Amino acid sequence: MRRDGRGGGTGLAAVTAFVCAVGMSAVPGRAQAAPTDPAPGAEGARDAAAAGGGGLYEVHRKVESLYRKAEAATDAYNLAREKQVRQEKRIVKIAQAVVKAQNRMTDLRERAGAVARAQYRSGGIPPEAQLLLGDDPEGFLDDVTLARKGQQATVGLMNQLEKTQATLDRYAKAASREWERLDSSRAKKAAARKEIRAKLRRARELESRLRAEERERLRQLEEEQQRRAQTTWLNSGILRKIGGKGTTQGRRAVEFATAQLGKDYVWGAEGPDTYDCSGLTQRAWAAGGRSIPRTSQEQWRLLPKVGVERMRPGDLIIYFKDASHVGMYVGNGAIIHAPRPGRQVTVAGAGSMPILGVVRPQGG
């Protein structure tokens, strides 16, 4: 399988072959045989010894659980990082507004100072006395009226700007506090992800102690679990209800995802050579002409939701209760997704994992 991102034809052929196989597995009496489960006895004892006492089933359960926890933590970390970027931009805008207000305030204070200096030069004589002592009462009254209007205008503008300055100061302080909270949250998420990665390393070390044939049987266990879930999903008759046609944008997104088949999964990767699950769907929809959130949790939270029965190619299926995984529906009961570390972007059954719901980046 090509892995340079240009293997669209090969990828589409793989999709077609997979869909045919999935369709056959759902037909009564024609289901494909499952790999033989590990039997107890000497071989089972070897499995248990190699897997640290838990056997292949336990290794499979532990590894899958750790991968899902790491995926959820990575999504949370990416979301915190995106929030911090938005907060930084917000703080810059606030700072610019504060500078602008300060410049206006400086200008008004200079004008107020000029008025004060003029009053000083006049000796600070009250207007009533100037009226009695002056040679031109009418001209003086005109000057007093203009001066008072100018003073009132200056005081009004200064009061307005002082209120604006106070508001901006409070806003800037609040933004700074929020930035600090987000920075702290990001650090906590990074620490959590580091801890989970350490657990994943231990799990991979556990897998590495298995013999080659045992690792292959472990992979078969994973695939068999997915096949059973997919068969159950298909046997519900769901495909008879799903028949939506993909849009032009949706087809472009599917074509992009198909061209990525065979590329490695890497935590936090957004292409072009490696991807995580939501990095793949985000880039695919960018190729389709639509900007969508970076993480599967945000894709689930912010994109329009549709019923599974209304699903069409290009829609995103969100998996697990914590929305920690996402795949792109490509039609005929199949998805393209980036599964987990140690795996590549691949085709899988849309029902091979617990479905939380479906979102439609394009809406409608």
Do residues 315 and 329 lie in contact, with contact meaning Cβ atoms separated by under 8 Å? yes
CA nearest neighbour of 268 among 338, 357, 195: 338
Establish whether 325 is a catalytic residue.
Answer: yes
The residues pairing with 265 across neighbouring beta strands, listed in sequence order, are: 275
Report yes or no: 255 and 8 within 8 Å, Cβ to Cβ. Answer: yes
Q: Where do runs of H (alpha helix) occur along the chain?
A: 8-25, 42-50, 55-121, 127-133, 137-208, 212-235, 248-259, 277-287, 296-302
The helix or strand, by DSSP H or E, that contains position 331, with its residue range, turns out to be strand 325-331
Report in angstroms the alpha-carbon separations of 146 from 139, 150, 152, 357.
Answer: 11, 6, 10, 70
Compute the distance between CA of residue 336 and CA of residue 34 in angstroms, rounded to an integer: 23
- Active-site residue, selected from the candidate residues 277, 284, 303, 350: 277
User: Which residue is associated with the tokens 């949790």?
Assistant: 297
Out of 283, 312, 337, 340, which one is annotated catalytic? 337
3-state secondary structure of 307: coil
Q: How many residues does the chain have?
A: 364
Active site includes 337? yes
Catalytic residue flag (residue 60) = no
User: In Å, how far are 37, 56, 110, 200 from 40, measured between CA atoms?
Assistant: 10, 11, 91, 27
Beta bridge partners of 38: none
3-state secondary structure of 72: helix
Residues sharing a CB contact under 8 Å with residue 102, sequence separation 6 or more, in sequence order: 165
Which listed residue (325, 329, 341, 356) is catalytic?
Answer: 325
- Cα–Cα distance, 295 to 78 (Å, whole number): 7
Q: Rounded to the nearest 10 degrees, how much is the dihedral formed by the CA atoms of 148, 150, 156, 161?
A: -150
Residue 206: Cβ within 10 Å count: 17
Catalytic positions, written as ranges: 277, 325, 337
